[in-house]
Amino acid sequence: MSAKPELFRLDRLKTPIGVALLVTDDDGLLRALDWENYEPRMRQLLRLQCGQIELKNARSPAGLKTALAAYFKGDLDRLGDIHWRVEGTPFQRQVWQALPKIPAGMTLSYGALAAKLGSPRAMRAVGHANGSNPISVVVPCHRLIGADGSLVKYGGGLDRKRWLLRHEGVEV
């Protein structure tokens, strides 16, 4: 007999850079945030972390949408009001826990984050973990850049990464 799929709620939020998909669990915690045109990738990341999943269209907690809307209107600190949960390997979780500690308006290179985590040669592993982050914007993977200051990659597309960084006051 197969395991029962984990049930999550799926909601949408219009933002200046596209429609965001918001996935929450029974506790009201954000489990994924991705862009409507990347829904298959979001589902795949959730499956990798949680196993079999089922998404049901339902409203996300009002506080989540309020905080995200405020962020997109310029209140950058509101991301800290959002409660979230991730699965993943211990190293991935270490990277994801470190990303919100990079203040809005600042960037860090993959190598610098690897060094902060005590693994200075693990910049590729940091990049892989960053690319597997299921919670865009709130777990701000967009704040990681190349050692030369280049934008490198972003799962939601470089145009969104550029917009998010400019929105936060980074000259790119």
Residues classed as catalytic: 141
**Other residues' Cβ atoms within 10 Å of the Cβ of residue 141:** 26
Closest CA to 164 of 54, 76, 62, 67: 76
Would you say 51 and 12 are in contact if contact means Cβ atoms under 8 Å apart? no
Distance (Å, whole) CA 143 – CA 38: 20
Task: Give the whole-angstrom CA distance, residue 171 versus residue 162.
Answer: 9
- 84 Rama class: left (phi>0) / alpha (psi -120 to 50) / beta: beta
Q: What Cα–Cα distance (Å) separates residue 169 from each residue in 57, 75, 94, 104, 163?
A: 34, 12, 26, 8, 10
Q: Are 96 and 129 in contact (CB under 8 A)?
A: yes
